[in-house]
Amino acid sequence: VRLPIDRVFSMRGFGVVVTGTLFSGSLHLEDRVEVLPQRETARVRGLQVHNQSVPEAVAGQRTAVNVQGLERTALQRGDVLVTPGRFPVTYMLDVTLTLLAEAPRPLKHRDRVRFHIGTSEIMGRVILLDCDEVQPGEAVFAQLHLEESAIAAPQDRYVLRSYSPIQTIAGGVILDTLPAKHRRRRAHVLEQLTTLRDGTAADVLAVHLANAEYAGLPWSD
């Protein structure tokens, strides 16, 4: 389950309600859920889809969730309701990045940007891994260093807006949600990112296992 929260409010007699579009999974009454990035847990007390009470909400539906066990002040837009223990909280992402053809200027290494995913907006910097700037219309690999935590999954799409003036300039696909900090202009890093972008599930798994070396990976990861 993953539901990015876009609204939080309280209802007399019910308690805290959050709304959003269910990205994945299905929610049922009495399910245990986790709110990220706080890692607070709660129980689903009620569900509504288009103002109708339902026993289940499925991916793609606009959903209101009455959660029990959380205070209104503990939640805000940009938080994410998830299945406990299934999504990491991260400050760094490996991504593909395409600068829009109509972008007003090139995007430079370490430019500050606004990163948008789900319902969150997070400030961060773009680390260009094989060049010093991206020209309008070009696509590259990059690493995003974020100033606040993000909740994402591989193959998610994201949007970048410029710091000032605020306008949409780029977007792309997330390749790795828990990467190491890369050194720039390293051929093996670019080869691995190409595999994460184009490879099969087995190819992708092999990259992550190779990077973990003898420490291995937890099965959940």
Chain segment 105-144, per-residue pLDDT in tens: 999 999 999 999 999 999 999 999 999 999 999 999 999 9
pTM, full prediction:
0.92
Q: What is the mean pLDDT of the chain?
A: 95
- Residue type at position 45: R
Q: Is the pLDDT of residue 221 over 90?
A: no
> What is the sign, positive or negative, of the torsion defined by CA atoms of 214, 141, 82, 10?
positive
Q: What is the spatial distance between Cα 164 and Cα 142, in angstroms, rounded to a whole number? A: 21
- pLDDT for 14 beyond 90: no
C-alpha 77/C-alpha 43 separation (Å) is: 19
